[in-house]
């Protein structure tokens, strides 16, 4: 399954079914065992050649950020809330697809002709932004998009530049894509690939996956925020698109295992895989679940996060480099083949 298909599927946190079905179908031929746990995580297991080696777990999240319908105006516009963190400044005038039938919609704002000078300086927030699906009144809007319907950015996957892509949901379909590719190979140890749910709303799915797995090592495939454009000083760039897979020493949810933090960049260097150290500690991801289980304490693993740098992450159009996506996969394979 290609990255285009994966990013164009809509799977906002709590509504990962379409993505899960597609991944399950694509993964099944390459796995010894496929299951779905009670948190909705897709768990794919593959046996290795040497049963004496400890199993290694990989995780990527299936969900993406998006919107949920939370109310209506009398004239048929949909009131919305974000699911996961989306800056309301980046959503004005964006095309969206509403509900399972992908109804087209647009997030509207007052035309510039009608704005006062004060209006132009105001930042619109979720109380002042609506999805217009062309409904003639509230009753029709309720019928077409009942409360709780999800809406996703409508963005076509588009290659551009030299080996770059524009797409929505690169965070974390790049990780899902690479887990699928990982499962196609053969390795010395057993591997478990967890495609998890609800990362964007608080690392929820992965807690169930951690509880169910109890492994010693977990590597998390992520998309992470690159801050590498314009006048940003070098010390604040976090990571840069096109400079390889980003390895994390710490973020808001976990401290990377020190041995893995030394080992993985060294493996990358000796194998000629582009690799960079993520220069920032903000954000957090599923590694926290596998390391200490969030609030449950059900974690057991030494963890490391391998991220693909993405520009404009958590918006309708983010940008990544195919070479970085390949580097994420190759570093994981290098790790497995050197156990």
Secondary structure class of 287 (helix, strand, coil):
helix
Establish if 270 lies at the interface with another protein (CB under 8 A). Answer: no
Answer yes or no whether residue 277 interacts with another protein by CB under 8 A: yes
Closer of 150 and 261 to another protein (Cβ):
261
Piece of 20-28, 56-64, 129-137, 294-302 that binds another protein (CB under 8 A): 294-302
Using left for φ > 0, alpha for ψ between -120 and 50, and beta otherwise, residue 236 falls in: alpha
If the CB atoms of residues 230 and 297 are measured against another protein, the closer one turns out to be 297
Judged by beta carbon, residue 166 or residue 225, the one nearer another protein is: 225
Name 204's Cβ contacts closer than 8 Å, sequence gap at least 6. Answer: 39, 197, 198
Angle between helices 170-183 and 322-337 (to 10 degrees): 40
Q: In Å, how far are 135, 263, 265 from 259, measured between CA atoms?
A: 57, 6, 11
Nearest-angstrom CA–CA distance, 328 and 179: 10
Name which of 2, 84, 25 is nearest 325 in CA terms: 2
Nearer to another protein, 170 or 210 (CB): 210
The rounded distance, in Å, linking the Cα atoms of 53 and 221 is 22
Q: Whose CA is closest to 254, among 293, 296, 222, 214?
A: 293
Q: State which of residues 101, 162, 231, 295 lies at the interface with another protein (CB under 8 A).
A: 295
* Token pair in block for residue 174: 């790049």
**Hey, which residues between 221 and 250 contact another protein (CB under 8 A)?**
234-237, 249-250
> Under rule CB under 8 A, how many of the chain's residues touch another protein?
27
Smallest separation (angstroms) from another protein to the CB of 112: 31
Binding of residue 216 to another protein (CB under 8 A): yes
User: Minimal distance in Å, beta carbon 199 to another protein?
Assistant: 18
Among 261, 308, 314, 332, binds another protein (CB under 8 A): 261
257 or 307: CB nearest another protein: 257
Among positions 29, 230, 272, 297, the unique one binding another protein when judged by CB under 8 A: 297
Instruction: Please identify, using beta-carbon distances, which residue of 69 and 194 lies nearer to another protein.
Output: 194
Beta pairing, strands 66-72 & 78-83: antiparallel
Which residue's CB is nearer to another protein, number 79 or number 237? 237
Closest contact distance (angstroms) between CB of 205 and another protein is 19
* 296 near another protein, judged by CB under 8 A: yes
Task: Count the helix, strand and coil residues of the chain and give each as a percent rounded to the nearest 5.
Answer: 30, 25, 40
Which residues, at least 6 apart from 81, have a Cβ–Cβ distance to it below 8 Å? 67, 68, 70, 126
Question: Could you tell me which residues come within 8 angstroms of residue 258 by beta carbon, excluding any fewer than 6 positions away?
Answer: none
| Closer residue to another protein in complex, CB, 84/294 | 294
Q: How far is the CB of 271 from another protein (least distance, A)?
A: 19
Torsion sign across C-alpha atoms 90, 251, 197, 23: positive
Among 279, 317, 322, 337, which residue sits at the site for another protein (rule: CB under 8 A)? 279
Written as six digits, the tokens of 31 are: 């796995």
Among the residue ranges 79-87, 145-153, 177-185, 257-265, the one whose residues contact another protein (CB under 8 A): 257-265
Which parts of this chain interact with another protein (CB under 8 A)?
Answer: 216, 234-237, 249-250, 255-258, 261, 277, 279-281, 291-293, 295-302
């Amino acid at each position: 399954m290609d990255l285009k298909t994966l990013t164009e599927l809509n799977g906002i946190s709590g509504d990962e079914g379409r993505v899960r079905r597609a991944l399950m179908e694509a993964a099944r031929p390459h796995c010894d065992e496929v299951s779905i746990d009670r948190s909705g995580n897709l768990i794919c297991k593959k046996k290795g050649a040497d049963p004496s080696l400890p199993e290694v777990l990989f995780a990527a999240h299936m969900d993406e950020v998006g919107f949920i319908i939370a109310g209506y105006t009398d004239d048929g516009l949909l009131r919305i809330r974000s699911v996961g963190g989306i800056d309301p400044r980046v959503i004005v005038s964006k095309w969206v697809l509403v509900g399972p039938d992908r109804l087209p919609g647009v997030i509207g704002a007052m035309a510039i002709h009608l704005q006062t000078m004060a209006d132009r300086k105001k930042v619109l927030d979720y109380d002042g932004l609506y999805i217009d699906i062309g409904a003639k009144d509230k009753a029709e809007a309720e019928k077409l998009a009942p409360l709780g319907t999800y809406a996703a950015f409508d963005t076509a996957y588009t290659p551009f530049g030299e080996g770059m892509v524009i797409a929505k949901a690169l965070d974390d379909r790049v990780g899902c894509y690479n887990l699928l590719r990982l499962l196609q190979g053969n390795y010395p140890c057993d591997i478990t690939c967890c495609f998890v749910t609800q990362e964007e709303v608080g690392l929820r799915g992965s807690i169930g996956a951690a509880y169910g797995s109890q492994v010693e090592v977990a590597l998390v495939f992520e998309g992470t925020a690159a801050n590498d454009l314009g006048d940003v000083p070098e010390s604040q760039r976090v990571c840069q698109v096109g400079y390889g897979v980003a390895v994390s020493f710490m973020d808001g949810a976990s401290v990377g295992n020190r041995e893995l933090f030394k080992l993985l960049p060294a493996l990358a260097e000796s194998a000629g895989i582009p690799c960079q150290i993520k220069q920032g500690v903000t954000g957090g991801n599923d590694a926290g679940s596998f390391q200490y289980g969030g609030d449950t304490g059900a974690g057991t693993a030494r963890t490391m996060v391998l991220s693909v740098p993405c520009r404009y992450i958590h918006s309708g159009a983010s940008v990544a480099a195919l070479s970085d996506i390949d580097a994420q996969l190759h570093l994981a394979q290098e790790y497995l083949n050197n156990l």
